[in-house]
Amino acid sequence: MRRTSQRVTLLILVLASITVLTLDYHGAANRGLTRVRNGVLDGLAPVQRVIADVLHPVGDAVAGAVHYGALQRQNEVLQNQVGSLRRQVAADNVASQQARQLLQLQALPFVGNTPQVDATVLSGPTSDFAYTLEIDKGTAAGVGVGEPVVGAGGFVGTVVAAGRSTAQVRLLQDNLTDIGVRLGAAGTATGVVTGQGRDSSLGLQILAGAARVHRGEWAFTSGTSAAGASAYPAGIPVATVTAVHRSPGGFNDSFTLEPLVNPASLQYVAVLQWLPPA
């Protein structure tokens, strides 16, 4: 009952307000009516404020609902633009890296006058048993089995199979790899670097009577096939000594080496057209 009474009162006030606002008189009647109208408006002002306070949040909610879809679409457009820019930056970085590798292959300091065939890496290692990669050059381009393969940083591997347009390269880390090397400040220590499997460091066997090897020294191909190791052109960087484990007397020292070239980052290589003398 009380709510009904409040609603009736509110309705009467609203109707009175409308009536007063629409009446138009002149002269003394108009002045009297103006005073009545102003009084009614003053009386209705608190009611109008209450109504405005109640309806304002509703208006905001309606406006928010109307604009939400547009804001959501705008957000999606911006996210797509950010994603596109990120992909472009990534593509530019890859292109820059590719260009850098190609330029470096044109001026390898350790190649000398040995002819080379530049090739693109088609696929990386896919097996834990044979650590190899495939390149897009074969016998038609002058690539032959047994030829060394290098990257910008140094020795990569050896060609072990060659078709007309592609070839397979056994990587330095493969278990079947063994390379004759020289180490030491003056290159007086000789030894054999051996692969120890995928994602593994390299082993080093120092030949009897060789000078002592220290951490941080580089191993370069020796150009010989000492101790049955494969021979390659002398002076190709192979690996760095990262750990030395001394033994009493220094006769059984053991070493850990890290390759200078990471196969995972290779996109271009050079096949050196060189075979060991018969």
Residue 273: helix, strand or coil by DSSP?
coil
What HEC string does 17-73 produce? Answer: HHHHHHCCCCHHHHHHHHHHHHHHHHHHHHHHHHHHHHHHHHHHHHHHHHHHHHHHH
The amino acid occupying position 37 is R
Does 66 score more than 80 pLDDT?
no
Residues 12 and 143 reside in one and the same domain: no
State how far the Cα of 56 lies from the Cα of 136, in Å rounded to an integer: 71
* CATH code: domain of residue 243: 2.40.10.340
Residue 125 sits in the same domain as residue 214: yes
Q: What confidence tens digit (pLDDT) does each residue in 111-165 have?
A: 888 999 999 999 887 666 678 999 999 999 999 999 999 998 899 999 999 999 9
Q: Per-residue pLDDT for 257 more than 90?
A: yes
Task: Assess whether pLDDT exceeds 60 at residue 199.
Answer: yes
- The Cα-based distances of 9 to 17, 19, 38, 53, 106 in angstroms read 12, 15, 19, 19, 95
User: Residue 218 — pLDDT band, cuts 50, 70, 90?
Assistant: very high
Q: From residue 38, how far is each of 12, 35, 41 by CA, in Å?
A: 16, 5, 5
Residue linked to tokens 């405005």: 52
Do 125 and 225 fall into the same domain?
Answer: yes
Residue 269 or 99, more confident = 269
Residue that finishes a domain, picked among 63, 79, 105: 105
Say if residue 80 is in the same domain as residue 58: yes
Quote the domain boundaries for residue 5: 1-105
Q: pLDDT: is 8 or 205 the higher one?
A: 205
Mean pLDDT of the region 60-65: 55
Asked whether residue 184 carries a pLDDT value surpassing 80, the answer given is no
Rounded to an integer, the average pLDDT of 104-116 is: 84
Among 70, 105, 140, which residue terminates a domain?
Answer: 105
Structural domains counted in the chain: 2
Both 98 and 158 in a single domain?
Answer: no
Q: What is the pLDDT of residue 165?
A: 96
In this prediction, residue 91 has a pLDDT band, given cuts at 50, 70 and 90, of low
79 and 157 belong to one structural domain: no
Same-domain check for residues 74 and 175: no
Are 129 and 239 in a shared domain? Answer: yes
Measured distance CA(161)–CA(145) in Å, rounded? 6
Shared-domain flag, residues 58 and 20: yes
Determine the pLDDT at residue 138. Answer: 96
Whether the model clears a pTM of 0.85, i.e. scores above it, the answer is no
Average pLDDT, the chain: 76
- 179 and 209 both lie in a single domain: yes
- Residues 151 and 268 placed together within one structural domain of the fold: yes
Q: What is the predicted pLDDT for the residue at 27? A: 46
* Nearest-angstrom CA–CA distance, 269 and 252: 36
Residues 234 and 278 in one domain: yes
Confidence of residue 28 (pLDDT cuts 50, 70, 90): very low
Residue 94 pLDDT class (50, 70, 90 cuts): low
Q: What is the pLDDT of residue 143?
A: 96
